[in-house]
Structure 1
Amino acid sequence: MARVKNWYNNQSKSASLIWFISLLIFYAIFRMASKHSPLSFKDVSVSNGERLKLYEKMSRDLDEHGALFLKHGETSQSLLLSDLFDMKNGSVTPALKAAIPPVRANVLHLSTEYSLPISKAVKDVFSPTLSEVIWFQNSERYHFSMFHASHHISPVPASEEEVEAEVDAVKSVVNQLCPVTILLDRVVLTSTGVLLGCWQVISGTDPVTIRSKLRNALPRAPEKQLYAPAILHTSLARILGHPKNSSEETNVDSELQHFHELVARLNSRIVGTKATVSELWYVEEYDVLALALDGKMKIRRFQFGCSKA
């Protein structure tokens, strides 16, 4: 009986030791996961709700303010369209101007795996009536602006050493980010003529968190950023003029209706597109809006450090 009792006690001690070691391992794994984890499902839902409000407002912009781009009005960044583009000989070309100091932007890159089909659909829908007055975003440069270390409204000059310090700080942030799975919610055309793809988040590190981490990592950055914390959108094209079938007799309402029909047609083709974003670019734009206009720039590419698993 004593032997049985001793055996039982030894077995109990072994089981307790195994249980304790397992608990330590679980705790260590939990701490590591917590360090790199994205927002919870509840937080993502809240951010998606904020995005939905933004996209609803953007969808009304063209009707509420009219087609300002037909009057060569301002862009969404307080720049004149006539300062950014030249329209002659039946095509649109960018009028590149030096950015002094260079803009330093952090953007998420959309892989050509996803951007090429979207770009093709945009051109298929808009080229027939707008080919002479539209600028299509380079499909290799589809991106989501996250955070600016310096922008044209509030320039923050930086030495080479300060730029490298920013790059190191951004890299440390990117190592904590998890790939973001996203869904194209809608395409909208704004009053300034920008055709935008507006996305929602399915899983991964939410843009709100990414921007917050970049803010903490870049304390010298402008306090006022260019975009709302929750927004996740990418420029697809910029319209600068009237459709081919327009004339002096064409009224404003019929032109607006034409634009709405084109947007609706594009939505029917690409809304619901899913994509995974897992790369952030730190970009020094030496020309104004270099990313959008294929200008001179320097790109540092960083892969997210957190795996989807």
Structure 2
Amino acid sequence: MAATKPPSCSTRLRSPATTAACFLPASLLLFLLLLLLRRPPMGSFPPTIPGGPVSSRRAELYGRMARDLDERGAAFLDGGETSQSLTLSELFDTRDGAVVPMLKAANPPVRANVLYLDPEFASVISKAVKEVFLPYFNQAIWFQNMSIYHFSMFHTSHHLEPIVATEDEIEAEVDAVKRVTDDVCPLKIILDQVVLTSTGVLLGLWQVESGTDPADIRSRLREALPRAPQKQLYDPVMLHTSLARILGHPKLPQEGNAQSLDHVKFFHDLVAQVNSKIRGFQATVKELWFVEEYDVLALALNGKMKVRRLQFGCKEGQGNGKI
């Protein structure tokens, strides 16, 4: 059987691709081929969010969270529990006139991936929150440490589904997360609003102006960490920072009548004051932390933890990775 003759550039009928190949130097063709081989296939990190634009879904979620206090009232004034079913009295104590956390060992430790907010930005928010709330809750409020303001993204082990891992397995998780952060672009974010929940947590809720969207980051982490719990703790589009937790009743001026106080209106007024100071505040997020929390709620309570700081590797002009 005669061998098949390879196509020639002198052939009369050529496809567009063949035509291009005939006029490109061999070195350039090799370079283009390598680029195609290195490029991740379309849909490598598919969005996990159904429906409309992420920013719209985020706004809808924040609207529901803002209504929580109206719908459920200030339940935290009657005690209340944290997200881990711990009472406030189990987490906090008062010593020498100051609120202090009662740290408890986490067994096994929680492993969390969080975005980190630099104190350059966190200090502005912390100052505004303290100016408004501290006069009324001197010994009945816990303020988030501004040096570890963070946005929870994705857990590889949490209290609802603990996944024990060896040191080698944890290091493999860190390596997998680093491969994700190498392609993540810094986020430029804007504070959409501050809200107070019915459980007494003061939250900063953020929108994303540019950079890799948190929903996309979570999707990439899900693919990179297949052993992680299927049930994660937060809505995929949510970008929030815990600012403070109210632990008791407000201290009112002498002329104030605690029994006749409309608590919901009172708290709405305080939140409105905070929003008037910092709503629309802009910040930049440039790194992700892989955190092993050796104490329960270590990130929230200044507990014992091990942190790996991973810088975002996306450079300007590489695309923003938004979904």
Work out which of the residue numbers 309, 316, 322 in structure 2 matches 1:301. 309
| Separation of aligned partners in 2, 1:17 and 1:286 | 59
Structure 2 residue 278 is matched with structure 1 residue 270 = yes
| Separation of aligned partners in 1, 2:96 and 2:258 | 23
Matched ranges for 1:99-248 at <5 A: 99-245=106-252
Root-mean-square deviation (CA), in Å?
3.1
- What secondary structure, in the 3-state scheme, does the structure 1 residue paired with 2:65 have? helix
CA contact (8 A) 2:45 2:220 kept: no
Identity percentage of aligned residues = 59
- What secondary structure, in the 3-state scheme, does the structure 2 residue paired with 1:128 have? coil
- What letter is aligned with 2:147? E
Question: Structure 1: 5+ residue runs without aligned partners?
Answer: 1-12
- What secondary structure, in the 3-state scheme, does the structure 2 residue paired with 1:256 have? helix
Alpha-carbon shift at residue 254 of structure 1 (Å):
1.9
If the length of structure 2 is used for normalisation, what is the TM-score?
A: 0.82
Alpha-carbon shift at residue 308 of structure 1 (Å):
3.1
Structure 2 CA distance for partners of 1:17 and 1:217, relative to 1, 3 Å:
closer
| Separation of aligned partners in 2, 1:282 and 1:160 | 14
Work out which of the residue numbers 249, 274, 289 in structure 1 matches 2:297. 289
- What secondary structure, in the 3-state scheme, does the structure 2 residue paired with 1:129 have? coil
CA contact (8 A) 2:45 2:219 kept: no
Structure 2 CA distance for partners of 1:252 and 1:47, relative to 1, 3 Å:
farther
- What secondary structure, in the 3-state scheme, does the structure 1 residue paired with 2:103 have? coil
Matched ranges for 1:29-40 at <5 A: none
Number of residue pairs the alignment of both structures matches: 293
CA contact (8 A) 2:121 2:283 kept: yes
Structure 2 CA distance for partners of 1:126 and 1:38, relative to 1, 3 Å:
farther
- What secondary structure, in the 3-state scheme, does the structure 1 residue paired with 2:134 have? helix
Structure 2 CA distance for partners of 1:94 and 1:160, relative to 1, 3 Å:
same
Alpha-carbon shift at residue 89 of structure 1 (Å):
4.3
| Separation of aligned partners in 1, 2:151 and 2:98 | 26
Q: Of Structure 1 and Structure 2, which has the larger fraction of its residues in helix?
A: 1
| Separation of aligned partners in 2, 1:308 and 1:97 | 43
Question: Structure 2: 5+ residue runs without aligned partners?
Answer: 1-19, 318-323
| Separation of aligned partners in 2, 1:44 and 1:280 | 27
Structure 2 CA distance for partners of 1:253 and 1:57, relative to 1, 3 Å:
farther
